[in-house]
Structure 1
Amino acid sequence: MTDSETEQPAKGSTRAATAAAKRRRLTAAAAQVLHEKGVERTAIADIAQAAGVPVGNVYYYFKTKDELVEAALAEHTAHLAALTAELERDPDPRARLKGLVDAWVSQRETAARYGCPTGTLTVELDKRDPGGLDETAAQVIRGLLDWAAQQFRALGVPDPDGHAVTLVAGYQGMSLLANALRDPEVMTREGDRLRTWLDSLA
């Protein structure tokens, strides 16, 4: 086997790794820029700039802006999965739920500027594309509701699905108000209320 033949797989592997890294940067940038600017005000060039990728290269990975929106939603799903996996290291379901509230409150500055990443995107997509990408966005929220319901079920409280809705609605409400009032401390105060409520559950 010649030297050039032994180098080929390494070069191919390097190209594949570079392409995968570039796609990941674009996906993360899409999630960030779409959250900050919204779907209608975001241009593909904005996402390319945030990712540090030439605009022409974007189309190699994503043919349309809708595909970038889908990628951003996948990023939100992955972020939620990573967060809940980290929370599940604690054996106490009440502590997991309180940890979720802590994670929400830790993002209060961002929420005050832009609102909830998934919530704001879901509302915008529903107005723009009912029955399409809004359903994909709703799946992210359903995933959060399902996880929260599992924790309430483990706590043994009645109506775990209803409690999950109350918790997530509390988050959506406080992030909306923090954004509307440009006041991150709304998240701090309402987060304290949610923790107190969780502690009060038998």
Structure 2
Amino acid sequence: MTDSKTSARALAADAKRQRLMAAAAEVVHRQGVERTTIADIAHAADVPTGNVYYYFKTKDELVAAALAEHSRQLKLLTDGLDLLPDPRERLKGLIAAWVSRRDLAARYGCPTGTLAVELDKRDEGGLDLEAGRVIRLLLEWVERQFRELGRPEPDGLALTLVGAYQGMSLLANALRDPRIMDREGARLLAWLDSLETA
């Protein structure tokens, strides 16, 4: 009986920690690191503020948790796309996922990209490097798709594609125009179609 109670408590604790991580990712994306408080994240996760400290001792730990959540979400997306048999279709699926978040991008920008820029302006913590690691995971996945297509310089093509996404997210946000994501997403799809398979 004790083992099942301990196991149930551990599952509840894991679920609460995951809620806090998801809330941290969402709130930091919407408000930025500097404007976000631990209380904001606790409220978004529906967790008493005092309980947050059981899981995360500092705000920087919560920002690191937000980055871990971005990484987890990216893995969920790419794992799902990896089920598609064709690498070109996987890349198109990635672009479709980006465009499907056009309203969020127009309001707040790319979750990881905007966080990376904000963290780079801080002098302490090393969290900027962690944000770069999440972006690198995306670049590596995209590069693998271009390599599977037999394209020369798959690393350069990955930079082009991910750079285009960051650019369209930034412009959609700066101009508060989600249609930029639609137009540039369509342009990226056409570009992918124009690339011949080696």
Greater gyration radius: 1
155, 163, 167: which one pairs with 2:161? 167
Q: CA deviation at 1:13?
A: 1.5
Q: Which amino acid aligns with 1:147?
A: W
Q: 2:177 corresponds to which residue?
A: 183
Q: 2:11 corresponds to which residue?
A: 17
Q: CA deviation at 1:130?
A: 6.0
Q: 1:60 corresponds to which residue?
A: 54
Q: Which amino acid aligns with 2:96?
A: D
**TM-score (structure 1 length as normaliser):** 0.95
Separation (CA, whole Å) in 2 of partners of 1:144 and 1:113: 22
Q: 1:3 corresponds to which residue?
A: none
181, 184, 195: which one pairs with 2:189? 195
132, 137, 140: which one pairs with 2:126? 132
Q: 2:28 corresponds to which residue?
A: 34
Separation (CA, whole Å) in 2 of partners of 1:67 and 1:130: 13
Give aligned pairs, total.
196
**TM-score (structure 2 length as normaliser):** 0.97
Separation (CA, whole Å) in 2 of partners of 1:113 and 1:134: 22
Q: 2:117 corresponds to which residue?
A: 123
Q: CA deviation at 1:158?
A: 1.1
Q: Does 1:152 align with 2:161?
A: no
Q: Give 5+ residue unaligned stretches, structure 2.
A: none
Q: CA deviation at 1:82?
A: 0.8
Secondary structure in 2 matching 1:173: helix
Identity across the alignment (%): 69
Separation (CA, whole Å) in 1 of partners of 2:60 and 2:121: 14
Q: Which amino acid aligns with 1:87?
A: L
Q: CA deviation at 1:131?
A: 7.0
Q: RMSD of the TM alignment (CA)? A: 0.9
